[in-house]
Structure 1
């Protein structure tokens, strides 16, 4: 699975968990709220620190350069498929 697909699935799974429903039960389309290509570009960045926050229905989603995913301020994932520079 590509990083893009992994990241999109991770976001949708985290939002579904926040709503306590299965991913298939979500009535949202990510592309209606954020351009998926933005997520692709961010996941490919291997330099610098960044944080990207967007609204997804009634949730605030934040993705960070160190692979963390927050939904409504709650840490949901720590292993997102984002490139990291090797020390």
Structure 2
């Protein structure tokens, strides 16, 4: 199993010992980019925040440690966030 397949279904920022989704929370799938396939807990995030884009820290993006991958909601009420690029 490669690294990307290992990460699928895991929640971004979750504890490595318990990386799966939790009951009562709302998740969006990250599509494309360095975090492709991960789930993002969007329970407490606003619609405008998701539409404007969220910068998520990642060490495997273009800028390495400290860089961020930017994801934007694909559809207004959808549960997929598309990668728009990396920022320092």
- Work out whether the TM-score is over 0.5: no
Query: As a proportion of its length, which structure holds more strand?
Result: 2
Pick the structure with more helix per residue. 1
- What TM-score comes out, normalization by structure 1 length? 0.29
Q: What is the TM-score when the length of structure 2 is the normalising length?
A: 0.28
